[in-house]
Amino acid sequence: MGLIPKLPVAEWIDSATEWTTDTFEFLFDFIKEDFGDFIEIVAEDWLMGIPIWLFIIVVGVLAFFASGKKLGLTAFSVIGLWFIANQELWEELMNTFTLVIFASLISVIIGVPFGIWMAKSKVAEKILTPVLDFMQTMPAFVYLIPAVAFFSIGMVPGVFASVIFATPPTVRFTNLGIRQVSHELIEASDAFGTTGTQKLFKVQLPMAKKTIMAGINQTVMLALSMVVIASMIGAKGLGQTVITGLQRAEVGTGFVAGLGIVILAIIIDRFTQNLNTQRGD
C-alpha cells in the first residue's frame, strides 16, 4: 500500500468536470432554461390541459387497437389510469410520463445511429462496447453527480441522467439486429446495385426492426426505472412522491405512488411489445 502513491483520480475527475462546466456553460444554461421550460410546458400546459376522462378514453382506444382489439390491455389501462386519478396523483403521473417520453426519445435518437455505426464498423464496435459496458454497470446514482454539476436540479438533469442510463439497449439491439440480417439478402441487394444508404434503409433496418423495437422497449423501461432516482435531484413526478413517503415514513403514500409507477410501466411495456409483435408479423 505504501509503495505506490495514491493516484489522484478523484481530483482529475473534479478538474475535468469543472473545466467542462465552465467551458460549455453557455450550452448547459441554454439546455437547462429553454429545454427545461419546454418540458414544463409539455407536462403542465399540454398534458395537464387534456381532461382526465378524455386522456383515459384515448389511451383505452389506443390500447384496444395496439393489442389487436383485445380487451385485456384496454381494461387494465382504463382502470389503472382511473385509479391514479382517483388517488389525486394525475399531475405527478403527467410529469413522470413527460420525463420518460423525453428521455426515451433522446435515447433512441442517439442510440439508433450509434448502433448502425457499430454494425458497419468493427473499429466502432471495439470502441463503443466497453463504453456501453461502463454505462450499464455504473450505479445509476452516480449519473446524478454530473447531471447536477452540469444542469443544477430539476427535470433537465433527471432527463440527462435517464438518457445515459437508458441508451445502451437501443445501441446494442440496433447493432445486433443489423448484424443478424442474412448474408443472402445483403448479397441479393448488392447484386441489384443498391447503394449503401438504400441497403440500410430498405433492407437492413426493415429486417432488423423487431430486434430494434425490443431494444427501444428496454430503453423505455430503463428510463422509467430512473424516475425515483431522478426525483432525488428535483425531477417532478411520482418518484418525488415515493421519496416524500420514504422521508416521512408514510408507507401508504409511498406505496400508492409506487403502484402508479408500476401501472404506467405495465401500460407502456404492453404498448411497445404489442407494436413490436404486430410490426414483426
**CATH for 160:** 1.10.3720.10
To 10 degrees, what angle do helices 205-225 and 90-120 make? 140
Q: Which domain holds residue 117?
A: 9-49+87-280
**Structural domain includes residue 58:** no
Q: Map grid coordinates 415515493 to a residue.
A: 242
Q: What is the mean pLDDT of the chain?
A: 88
In this structure, is residue 65 part of a structural domain?
Answer: no
First to last CA, the chain: 60
- How many CA atoms lie within 13 Å of 218's alpha carbon, on the beta-carbon side? 17
For 67-154, where are the alpha helices, taking DSSP H only?
71-86, 90-120, 122-137, 144-151
Q: Is residue 105 in some structural domain?
A: yes
| pLDDT at residue number 281 | 47
In a domain, 55, yes or no: no
Number of folded domains in the chain? Answer: 1
pLDDT tens digits, 97-132: 999 999 999 999 999 999 999 998 999 999 999 999
- Answer yes or no: is 56 within a domain: no
**pLDDT exceeds cutoff 60 at 279:** no
